[in-house]
Structure 1
């Protein structure tokens, strides 16, 4: 499979998913109101926290699928392992649904502060949320196998259909629904069932039944290192979820549901920033894992690809994050046409945009450890961070609201970039740290910041035309992106080669 084709497919798919999530926000707010939109924000938080129950299996399964595809003779037990884990997820999903239905009345009554949604509708909506979340969690291992086999073009095609139905299809459904709250979440459940069917079918085609039924003499012995790595991945995922999502969970409890709906607009933008970095990582991680598995010069090739990936992520993240951070009010108004959200959340948007852009870079540090199959440093470091940051985020959310959590979000990600990166690289890539930090990250962000700052002096006429405002913002981001692209090493090498080739041709003449 072509890594470029997978990366392009991932970016096309992720950009569409992100844009769909962004474009549908004003439609949801207009048709449902801020309180029901806040309930949708709570649903997103539920999906995120449910990933903790994955216990690292999906992440580890992706790595093992990539290793099996790279060298089947060294990993003949993977199909049997995949079949065993499928049964585990099926049983766990059923238990989760039962527990969720029992907990729904408590969540509706004591956690969510709704004023206009009928209580019985709220209870039913939360119950359907749990069922939908369980199905989407159940899909995780199958999606990991598809990614590990690098069939990412197919997966992105499915994502385009699913996201279209999940977002714009939902807008159409609730427009004609007598009870929009119930119909919205029932529609999400229906789409999730269809997505599960196609993902399971595809993964079973990649790992056919004859392979899954092959007996492995020492499967328990194989499971030990797998589970050891899975526990490490699960612990790391749990710690990261607590650190990065505890603010949103606490705010869903402390804020009125309508105000939480306003914050969800900011959270959607921040999540979109991070999501735009995931396609290239999704394409790169299986390839880096394969390099480490079968290449004689695997470490050198892996670090070279790691640096190129860092530059690519920086080039996409810096213009996007900084444009949002410099123009939060204009963006929020053009996006939602709700001036109140802009007044409440403009500074919060700036903080979360900057923090999320840096966080996308920091995520590469985890991937470096993941590819090397050693998460012990990550576990130790983030255990310490959790002890400090979880209480700090709770305190900030309770006493200072979204503004307080935004300040903590920026500060912690800057610390990861400047300090934690040095600790990780000292163990896994001691020769590249200063070049990685200065050349691959800070240089690109500094250039992007200068370009964005200079645009403030351009006399744009921000007015009541939302499309004109979006055009201005798009032009600012696009010009910034083009300039930053010139800073990538491969682009620079290409331009040098073209220049020297032309000079040589002129010399020969």
Structure 2
């Protein structure tokens, strides 16, 4: 099995287990913590995303540079020195961010969040605990990027699965047998995050190429990567403004309970779609970077389209099912008709927007492999000028649905405008192929088929078994449609069928 397949399988396996744990345990946490408590955690996650801006592009820079330098054995010492240099910067910023978050926690508890049942003191303590956890979570992102650059996905996912199991089952034990409070829950999250960070530190340095000398901090190495890091930081800034504004507006305007419903829809989408997108992009980005470094552009073209079709094959069926059967999925997941009724439209819109965003990830990472960050930066700046006012308007007038609708429109515009600009600078003449072969055909056919099925299938008052069975069959149908309409997937399917038939004939 080649390394690409091994990495994809490792990433999917690790993220699938983590996703299952999240799906299983979130309803349990809600039982003990309430939807309001979940809203607090989701609010901090949005603030945390903004604080990641201070990263300055350190983590993605490490990912790219590790992938690039590891292709040249003679640069092992430079790789270790650069890793130590970026590591020191990462921890310095992590401490700074932690202090900022700790200072801001009382103000957020007193003046921003609206709670009807939770005291300000409890909210303040929760935010402060999450602030400390965030410092370690920040550093986890750094070492994760390094291991991805080394293409050690199998090891990384073993660590992640181990910690996820410990975190989920441990949190359940704490809530049931120790204390059913958000403070106890967050203390356990902090403990497991520290453990996760420690394991990644140890294995990252063990897997770097060995050299005779020790790694040292060298400011001169920053001169070679600062432009890329600065470009990444600038792009991250405008992306986060676009993707987090709706959450911040909603956290201010809505009660924590209503914001919790919105957050549930995001959790389900990010768990399913995030698993797919994260698994695939982290597999292909280091290889994009190596092909660019070795100037194998023709090979990159074919590899790029294969990667995009792999993304479509896994992503389109999941997004389609989430969009067309959002109410039924929420009902089965939460066992609450009230939650399903309040969140299903949100789930549909967020799934569509996030799915389109997922299709854009590999084109975006192809840009980064070439060291180009200006495309993403400027297209997002323009989007802020035109789309943010619309997002604020729709959120003010339509609440959570307005924010979700804005997210879907934003990502649809990216697939039209952003890709056109990108393919004028790199991988020229590949745009038409991306649309016709990589995405549009499976999207249209799957949507038409599921829309027809949605119109003739009635799941009102259906049992859980009936809902799961029906949605499961339609999901498999969507997978088959994707496999047959994507050229690279169809070739692979034909190859494995012929191989299986040949082996069967030989055995007979």
Q: Structure 1 length normalisation: TM-score?
A: 0.92
* Structure 1 segment 10-89 matched on structure 2, within 5 A: 10-73=11-74, 76-89=77-90
* Structure 1 segment 108-147 matched on structure 2, within 5 A: 108-147=109-148
Task: Specify whether residues 479 and 205 from structure 1 end up closer, same or farther in structure 2 by C-alpha distance, changes over 3 A only.
Answer: same
C-alpha deviations, 1:253-303, integer Å up to 9, x for none? 111001111111111123222342110110111111111222x5x111112
C-alpha deviations, 1:220-240, integer Å up to 9, x for none? 443223011000011111211
Segments of 5+ residues of structure 1 without an aligned counterpart are none
1:250 aligns with 2:249: yes
The residue aligned with 1:445 is: 443
The residue aligned with 2:286 is: 286
Task: Specify whether residues 206 and 500 from structure 1 end up closer, same or farther in structure 2 by C-alpha distance, changes over 3 A only.
Answer: closer
Superposition deviation, residue 2 in structure 1: 1.1
Q: Specify the SS of the correspondent of 1:277.
A: helix
C-alpha deviations, 1:410-455, integer Å up to 9, x for none? 1111111122211111211221111111221101111211231232
Q: Specify the SS of the correspondent of 1:176.
A: helix
* Counterparts of 2:461 and 2:280, CA distance in 1: 36
* Counterparts of 2:212 and 2:477, CA distance in 1: 51
Superposition deviation, residue 465 in structure 1: 3.1
Task: Specify whether residues 164 and 46 from structure 1 end up closer, same or farther in structure 2 by C-alpha distance, changes over 3 A only.
Answer: farther
Superposition deviation, residue 328 in structure 1: 1.6
Structure 1 residues 170-179 or 127-136, which shifts more?
170-179
Q: Specify the SS of the correspondent of 2:124.
A: helix
The answer as to whether partners of 1:337 and 1:466 remain within 8 angstroms in 2 is: no
Task: Specify whether residues 359 and 211 from structure 1 end up closer, same or farther in structure 2 by C-alpha distance, changes over 3 A only.
Answer: farther
1:191 aligns with 2:192: yes
Structure 1 residues 280-289 or 399-408, which shifts more?
399-408
The answer as to whether partners of 2:76 and 2:209 remain within 8 angstroms in 1 is: no
Q: Specify the SS of the correspondent of 2:184.
A: helix
* Counterparts of 1:210 and 1:271, CA distance in 2: 40
Superposition deviation, residue 36 in structure 1: 1.1
* Counterparts of 1:124 and 1:378, CA distance in 2: 37
* Counterparts of 1:242 and 1:168, CA distance in 2: 34
Structure 1 residues 244-253 or 394-403, which shifts more?
394-403
* Structure 1 segment 60-459 matched on structure 2, within 5 A: 60-73=61-74, 76-207=77-208, 213-214=214-215, 219-272=218-271, 273-294=273-294, 298-457=296-455, 459=457
- RMSD of aligned alpha carbons: 2.4
The answer as to whether partners of 2:310 and 2:489 remain within 8 angstroms in 1 is: no
* Structure 1 segment 479-494 matched on structure 2, within 5 A: 479-494=477-492
Q: Specify the SS of the correspondent of 1:259.
A: helix
The answer as to whether partners of 2:71 and 2:290 remain within 8 angstroms in 1 is: yes
* Counterparts of 2:398 and 2:197, CA distance in 1: 41
Superposition deviation, residue 33 in structure 1: 1.4
The answer as to whether partners of 1:460 and 1:472 remain within 8 angstroms in 2 is: no
Structure 1 residues 90-99 or 80-89, which shifts more?
90-99
C-alpha deviations, 1:11-54, integer Å up to 9, x for none? 11112222222222221222221111212222332332332221
Q: Specify the SS of the correspondent of 1:77.
A: helix
Task: Specify whether residues 255 and 215 from structure 1 end up closer, same or farther in structure 2 by C-alpha distance, changes over 3 A only.
Answer: closer
Q: Specify the SS of the correspondent of 2:360.
A: helix
Task: Specify whether residues 84 and 54 from structure 1 end up closer, same or farther in structure 2 by C-alpha distance, changes over 3 A only.
Answer: same
Superposition deviation, residue 356 in structure 1: 1.1
Structure 1 residues 80-89 or 6-15, which shifts more?
80-89
Q: Specify the SS of the correspondent of 2:73.
A: coil
- Aligned pair count reads 500
Q: Specify the SS of the correspondent of 1:456.
A: helix
C-alpha deviations, 1:112-158, integer Å up to 9, x for none? 11222222222111100100011100222211111111111010011
* Counterparts of 1:204 and 1:313, CA distance in 2: 31
* Counterparts of 1:49 and 1:332, CA distance in 2: 29
* Counterparts of 1:220 and 1:450, CA distance in 2: 56
The answer as to whether partners of 1:68 and 1:76 remain within 8 angstroms in 2 is: no
Superposition deviation, residue 197 in structure 1: 0.5
Segments of 5+ residues of structure 2 without an aligned counterpart are none
Task: Specify whether residues 123 and 419 from structure 1 end up closer, same or farther in structure 2 by C-alpha distance, changes over 3 A only.
Answer: same
The answer as to whether partners of 1:274 and 1:359 remain within 8 angstroms in 2 is: no
Superposition deviation, residue 496 in structure 1: 5.7
* Counterparts of 2:219 and 2:451, CA distance in 1: 59
Q: Specify the SS of the correspondent of 1:429.
A: coil
